[in-house]
């Protein structure tokens, strides 16, 4: 089974949504974690828009990346430029992957929910493609 760690600055929205989708698409082929370089709680809008698409992340917690440094991680995915720049060294053979998504929490309040949905859909597409490409060989293994 593969292990995936998704990193963002606050571990509040983008990394949480990616965590939810990656686990959803991977099923029992992977264990997915998410963390931040400066975690500050799961954004309720992230939980809301994921629930709209049938993925429950209400049980997720916002964690610091240091909690995962000693775990055997296969893939580390940074989903924002700040996390990429501050990402710690992982003493494993983890493959480092970067795909930046816009921070929906920075949208004007009147547009914020719509922006969360846009970013959610982008993350969903990326996550499904990632699992199909990286874990397809794990089917039945």
Among all residues, which ones are annotated catalytic?
A: 8, 80, 87
Rounded to an integer, what distance in angstroms lies between the CA atom of residue 12 and that of residue 86?
A: 17
Quick one: tokens of 33? 């974690």
Distances (CA, A) of 94 to 11, 24, 53, 69: 20, 21, 30, 11
E strand or H helix that includes residue 31: strand 30-36
Helices 44-52, 112-134: crossing angle, 10 deg rounding: 60
Q: Answer positive or negative: Cα dihedral of 115, 119, 120, 121.
A: positive
């Amino acid at each position: 089974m593969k292990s995936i760690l998704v990193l963002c600055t606050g571990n509040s929205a983008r990394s949480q949504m990616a965590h939810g989708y990656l686990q959803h698409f991977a099923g029992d082929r992977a264990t997915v974690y998410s963390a931040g370089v400066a975690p500050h709680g799961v954004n309720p809008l992230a939980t809301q828009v994921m629930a709209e698409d049938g993925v429950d992340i209400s049980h997720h917690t916002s964690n610091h990346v240091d909690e995962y440094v000693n775990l055997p991680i296969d893939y580390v995915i940074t989903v924002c430029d700040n996390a990429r720049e501050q990402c710690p060294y992982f003493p494993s053979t983890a493959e480092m992957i970067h795909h930046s998504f816009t921070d929906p929490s920075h949208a004007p309040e009147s547009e914020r929910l719509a922006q969360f949905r846009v970013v959610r859909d982008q993350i969903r597409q990326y996550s499904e493609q990632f699992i199909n490409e990286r874990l397809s060989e794990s089917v039945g293994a």
